[in-house]
Amino acid sequence: MTMRTSRLAAAIISVAALGLGAQTLYPPTYPPPKRAPIAPKTTVTAAQAQKEHAQTDALIEAAIRAKFAKSKINADKFQVHVQGGVATIEGKTDVIQHKGVATRMAKGAGAVAVNNHVQSSEAAKEKAAANLAKGRRRAQIKRGDARSEATGSGKPAQLLGTGKSVSGRSAGEGRK
């Protein structure tokens, strides 16, 4: 070996020795992680599994009923059944949004899935359709499509308290 390689080998050996010595001189201050004990294997019979599902189903059903009781949809008196984590909701409502609210509440109470068999009355459907049409008219007025229908007089609509029309001109000004 040459002088250069022997010095390099000596340096590597001394660094390795220092590294090993440092571990024995300064042991780690934290305790080693403990492993969780391994639970013995148990067999669950079908009857035990069904009993556990029945308990959780009853808890989910009670939670759903409690959520319904705290809300406005309590007036609709929906019927709730839970089997295997799947909630089934039945009943009738006069407010079309209560059907969706009931589904969200059931899922929030822990149901895995929801079969919603709530029926909306004809009056609720007609009211929703009328509100939808009214909202469309309002959107057209805001965009400026049918202004003459909005005011009914053919004049431009005026902003309240400003004396200016929607177009930005004062009420007395005409087009130039």
What pLDDT, on the 0 to 100 scale, is given for residue 150? 47
The pTM is what? Answer: 0.49
Averaged pLDDT for residues 146-165: 54
What pLDDT, in 10s, does the model give residues 87-135? Answer: 999 999 988 889 999 999 999 999 999 999 999 889 888 888 888 888 7
Sign of the C-alpha dihedral computed for residues 158, 159, 160 and 161 taken in this order: negative
pLDDT > 70? residue 17: no
Q: Across-strand partners of 82?
A: 87
- Joined together, the tokens standing for residue 119 give 């029926």
Contact 157, 165 (CB under 8 A): yes
Q: Answer with the residue of higher pLDDT: 62 or 174.
A: 62
Which domains are seen in the chain, by residue range? 46-120 (3.30.1340)
Which amino acid, residue 118?
A: V
List, in sequence order, the alpha helices (H) in 71-174.
Answer: 97-108, 122-143, 147-151
